[in-house]
Structure 1
Amino acid sequence: MALQETIEQTVTGLGYELVEIERTGGGLLRVTIDMPYPPDVPGVEQFINAEDCEKVTRQLQFVLEVEGAEYARLEVSSPGIDRLLRHEKDFERFAGELIDITLKAPIGVAASAGSTVAASRKKFRGTLERAEPKDGVAGWQVVWRDEPAVKPGQKVSKKKIPAALQALGFTLDEIHQARLAPVVDFKGRKPKIAPAADKPTEN
């Protein structure tokens, strides 16, 4: 059985969700887990704690030894602020959040026509939103403004007109990788969502 499949079956069998598997230098095998979504109690989301990680670690050590998997050290942890989004349910769970996506292929000339986005662009950061289905497949879009970064201490005029909203539609099959944007907000991890009155420019 492949390592990915072995780990995923073990993690899900214990009632958790496998988020990511990484192999790093020195033989480290890092496994990231999360609570399944939707939560058991609607509106009440649980989070991974140290006991959860220890429970999964013990079971994985046993299973991997039986399977003869090669690794020097096993590390089981909860998702960080740059959590990987892999499945449709991940996108449903984090709709409205700020994300970073990398496409498998550049958007192309046709998609960039009439906008300031380069045809060769593959990476985008913006708010994740539902979009119209594409060829019967659930659609998503990332919405953003191409605003220049504000330097520390720099004052922004209240009269300044914000850049136009832009939107890029995509399906999960078109994505190489998607993660929550690692932005820390001490008032709560919610991005600033553009007013509904603004209409994004689609690419």
Structure 2
Amino acid sequence: MSTTQSERLRELLAPLVSARELDLEEVEVTPAGKRRVLRVVVDGDQGVSLDECAELSREVSQRLDDTDVMGGAPYVLEVTSPGADRPLTRHRHYVRATGRLIKAQLAEGGELLARITAVDEEGLDLEVPGVKGRKPTTRRLAFDEIAKARVEIEFNRKAAEKAADESQEEA
């Protein structure tokens, strides 16, 4: 039997999350003044909508009310998705980020900014943007070469895709 509160919460909440075909990414309890914040992070292959978070929040709240896992001290429940600039820590994160721009810190030092084009069990196929008008290049990166990685937010992605499409048509 699990002994830590986070483990007990994970065991309690995982069935609710998986019943919605979502993944339980994180369960975190942090102090916030006289209260605590219970943050439950969920994700799915198609992302997570606000409505799904709200429905799951009601279910989680009811399940917590039915148990004593949070104890008697007041807490605030927050059910959320990982966010647009999520860290990539598991294979499924990379699969879900296919087509997205990422920044990877390499295990041997240095950083790499590239777009994921494919993911398999060993690593990633990437498209590295060209510099100073040069064409993009491809690169293979094994998972063990990555110290940490994060999705990069692209505010003008559609413009970048349109420019890339136009440059391919000209070639």
Using the size of structure 1 for normalisation, the TM-score is 0.55
Identity of aligned residues (%): 23
CA displacement 1:52-83 (0-9 Å, x = unmatched): 11221122223345151367211112342213
By how many angstroms is 1:98 displaced?
0.4
Which residue in the other structure is 1:140 paired with?
A: 124
Which residue in the other structure is 2:155 paired with?
A: 184
Q: Given that residues 125 and 138 in structure 2 are in contact (C-alpha distance below 8 angstroms), is that contact kept between their aligned partners in structure 1? A: no
By how many angstroms is 1:182 displaced?
1.8
What is the letter of the counterpart of residue 81 of structure 1? A
Out of 84, 104, 115, which is 1:127 matched to?
Answer: 115
Aligned length: 155
What is the letter of the counterpart of residue 10 of structure 1? L
By how many angstroms is 1:84 displaced?
3.9
By how many angstroms is 1:145 displaced?
4.5
Q: Given that residues 125 and 142 in structure 1 are in contact (C-alpha distance below 8 angstroms), is that contact kept between their aligned partners in structure 2? A: no
Alignment map for 1:110-125 (pairs within 5 Å): 120-121=109-110, 123-125=111-113
Question: Structure 1 pair 130/183, CA: closer, same or farther in 2 (3 Å)?
Answer: same
Taking the aligned partners of 2:27 and 2:148, their CA distance within structure 1 comes to 14
Q: Given that residues 103 and 114 in structure 2 are in contact (C-alpha distance below 8 angstroms), is that contact kept between their aligned partners in structure 1? A: yes
Which residue in the other structure is 1:56 paired with?
A: 56
Question: Structure 1 pair 129/8, CA: closer, same or farther in 2 (3 Å)?
Answer: same
By how many angstroms is 1:140 displaced?
1.1
Question: Structure 1 pair 25/125, CA: closer, same or farther in 2 (3 Å)?
Answer: farther
Q: Between Structure 1 and Structure 2, which shows a larger proportion of strand residues?
A: 2
Q: Given that residues 20 and 84 in structure 1 are in contact (C-alpha distance below 8 angstroms), is that contact kept between their aligned partners in structure 2? A: no
Question: Structure 1 pair 142/191, CA: closer, same or farther in 2 (3 Å)?
Answer: farther
Which residue in the other structure is 2:99 paired with?
A: 96
Which residue in the other structure is 2:134 paired with?
A: 162
Taking the aligned partners of 2:149 and 2:12, their CA distance within structure 1 comes to 24
Q: Given that residues 21 and 32 in structure 1 are in contact (C-alpha distance below 8 angstroms), is that contact kept between their aligned partners in structure 2? A: yes
Please, which runs of 5 or more residues in structure 1 have no aligned partner?
38-44, 108-119, 148-159, 197-203
Q: CA RMSD in A?
A: 3.8
Using the size of structure 2 for normalisation, the TM-score is 0.63
Out of 24, 29, 32, which is 2:38 matched to?
Answer: 29
Taking the aligned partners of 1:95 and 1:138, their CA distance within structure 2 comes to 15
Which residue in the other structure is 1:12 paired with?
A: 18
Q: Between Structure 1 and Structure 2, which shows a larger proportion of helix residues?
A: 2
Please, which runs of 5 or more residues in structure 2 have no aligned partner?
none
Which residue in the other structure is 1:81 paired with?
A: 84
Deviates more, 1:55-64 or 1:80-89: 80-89
Question: Structure 1 pair 17/142, CA: closer, same or farther in 2 (3 Å)?
Answer: same
What is the letter of the counterpart of residue 9 of structure 1? P
What is the letter of the counterpart of residue 124 of structure 1? L
Question: Structure 1 pair 177/25, CA: closer, same or farther in 2 (3 Å)?
Answer: farther
Question: Structure 1 pair 187/166, CA: closer, same or farther in 2 (3 Å)?
Answer: closer
